[in-house]
């Protein structure tokens, strides 16, 4: 495992990636919310006629860029192409917002049916101390997430050290053989994009050492982290080696797996450190021990209290009571002190009543 991870981190990207015939990039490279940006698609075209660009469509988080073959006599030679579009020109007011956009590039046929050729996410979330910090550990498919495309037969290991994220996807090949899909690299504000390396075979638990029997490029992965404990993972790979072979795209909603902590908000009981990020913050650092209120059990809310008079009220989903709460409120004397909406099992992040970035970090039971 250590050797394979080192390979991902040290080898040039082109040595790992499957040859992608169509590439999506932005101008500028790192756009920000509130500032217009352009999308450039480059690649190879099967003839000498440049593709005809169709109108861009912006629908919520989706940006669709498409082209079609020109109705003209063209030379039979593979030719590089580049098209640039401006989504802001057709987007609704407020574009681009502080969010992650999904860019899809397609070619359309004579009856306007699209075939997906390329995909990537574009992270425009605003940088702040409220940035996503994915919790390290086991993650699992989210059966109530946006994309319910996977069951329990697939699992994920996420590790973050500084600005570097590594993820292992444990799955199976079509013939039933176990496989590891590895990716590692720099994490952006709320997203990750990298190449996949598939490893099959290797060290048996009982037996002499042997290296992986097969290590090969397996496509790419884009991850949208919606909170510290929830995400959408986009797996992509070329469907073939042809210029117009359709891209195989697989989205999976995942969340941080709670396999040991109590459900119904009971896991929130314990010692937490409460503080602000800004040195000039009016929030005074505190250490609080929260106890679960057994006498105030509600199906959709967990209530915990501290000896100092603080009350932590967290929304609980009865269908997924074991996962991190979506929203928590910290109160003192009945008044709101903070609201946390970027939560994990061991860290709650949000804003104080006056807008300061703040956090609750679990110190122990």
Could you report the per-residue pLDDT of 49-74, keeping only the tens digit for each? 999 999 999 999 999 999 999 989 99
Q: What is the pLDDT of residue 22?
A: 95
CA distance 302 to 314: 5
Instruction: Assess contact for 251 and 158: CB atoms under 8 A.
Output: no
Confidence of residue 215 (pLDDT cuts 50, 70, 90): confident
Domain residue spans in the chain?
Answer: 22-123, 128-235+248-256, 266-364
Q: Lowest mean pLDDT: which of 233-242, 308-317, 346-355?
A: 346-355
Q: What is the pLDDT of residue 254?
A: 95
More confident residue, 212 or 155: 155
- Looking at the DSSP assignment, which residues form a beta bridge with residue 224? 191, 232
Give pTM, 2 decimals: 0.89
- Residue-wise pLDDT for 83-95, tens only, equals 999 999 999 999 9
* E runs forming strands in 175-269: 178-186, 191-200, 214-227, 230-238, 247-256
* C-alpha R_g of the chain: 24
Return contacts of 55-61, CB within 8 angstroms, 24+ apart.
55/90, 56/85, 56/86, 56/87, 56/89, 56/90, 57/90, 58/87, 58/90, 58/91, 58/92, 58/95, 61/99, 61/100, 61/101, 61/102
Q: What is the pLDDT of residue 19?
A: 54
Instruction: Assess contact for 156 and 169: CB atoms under 8 A.
Output: yes
Q: What is the pLDDT of residue 129?
A: 47
Confidence of residue 205 (pLDDT cuts 50, 70, 90): confident
Confidence of residue 269 (pLDDT cuts 50, 70, 90): very high
Q: Across residues 296-321, what is the average pLDDT?
A: 87
- Residue-wise pLDDT for 137-175, tens only, equals 999 999 889 998 887 789 999 999 988 999 999 998 888
| Shared fold status for 128-235+248-256 and 266-364 | yes
CATH 2.40.128 is the classification of domain 128-235+248-256: yes
Q: What is the pLDDT of residue 297?
A: 65
Q: What is the pLDDT of residue 16?
A: 43
Q: Across residues 104-120, what is the average pLDDT?
A: 95
Is the pLDDT at 11 greater than 50? The verdict is no
What does pLDDT average to over the chain?
Answer: 88
Q: Across residues 245-269, what is the average pLDDT?
A: 89
More confident residue, 342 or 130: 342
Q: Lowest mean pLDDT: which of 88-97, 168-177, 279-288, 317-326?
A: 279-288
Q: What is the pLDDT of residue 3?
A: 54
Q: What is the pLDDT of residue 209?
A: 78
Q: Across residues 228-249, what is the average pLDDT?
A: 94
CATH of domain 266-364: 2.40.128
Q: Across residues 185-213, what is the average pLDDT?
A: 86
Is the pLDDT at 103 greater than 80? The verdict is yes
Pairing relationship of beta strands 52-53 and 230-238 according to DSSP bridges: unpaired
């Amino acid at each position: 495992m250590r050797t394979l991870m080192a390979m991902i981190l040290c080898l040039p990207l082109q040595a790992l990636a499957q040859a992608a015939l169509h590439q999506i990039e932005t101008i500028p490279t790192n756009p920000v919310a509130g500032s217009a940006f352009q999308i450039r698609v480059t690649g190879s075209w099967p003839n000498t006629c440049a593709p005809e660009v169709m109108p861009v469509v912006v629908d919520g988080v989706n940006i669709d860029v498409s082209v079609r073959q020109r109705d003209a006599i063209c030379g039979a030679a593979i030719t590089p192409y580049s098209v640039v579009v401006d989504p802001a020109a057709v987007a609704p007011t407020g574009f681009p917002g502080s969010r992650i956009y999904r860019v899809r590039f397609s070619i359309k046929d004579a009856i306007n049916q699209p075939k997906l050729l390329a995909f990537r996410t574009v992270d425009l979330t605003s940088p702040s101390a409220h940035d996503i910090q994915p919790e390290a550990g086991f993650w699992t498919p989210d059966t109530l997430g946006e994309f319910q495309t996977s069951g329990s037969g697939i699992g994920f290991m996420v590790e973050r050290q500084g600005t570097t994220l590594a993820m292992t996807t444990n799955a199976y090949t079509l013939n039933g053989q176990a496989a590891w899909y590895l990716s590692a690299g720099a994490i952006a504000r709320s997203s990750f994009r990298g190449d996949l390396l598939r490893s099959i075979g290797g060290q048996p638990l009982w037996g002499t050492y042997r290296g992986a029997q097969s290590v090969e490029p397996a496509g790419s992965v884009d991850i949208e982290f919606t909170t510290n404990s929830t995400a959408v993972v986009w797996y992509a790979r070329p469907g073939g080696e042809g210029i117009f072979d359709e891209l195989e795209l697989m989205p999976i909603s995942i969340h941080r797996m709670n396999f040991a902590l109590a459900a119904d908000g009971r896991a929130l009981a314990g010692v937490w450190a409460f503080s602000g990020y800004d040195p000039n913050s009016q929030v005074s650092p505190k250490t609080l021990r929260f106890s679960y209120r057994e006498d105030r059990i509600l199906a959709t809310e967990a209530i915990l209290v501290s000896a100092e008079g603080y009350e932590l009220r967290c929304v609980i989903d009865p269908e997924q009571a074991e996962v991190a709460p979506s929203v928590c409120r910290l109160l003192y004397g009945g008044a709101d002190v903070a609201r946390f909406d970027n939560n994990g099992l061991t860290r709650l992040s949000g804003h104080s009543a006056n807008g300061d970035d703040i956090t609750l970090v679990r110190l122990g039971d």
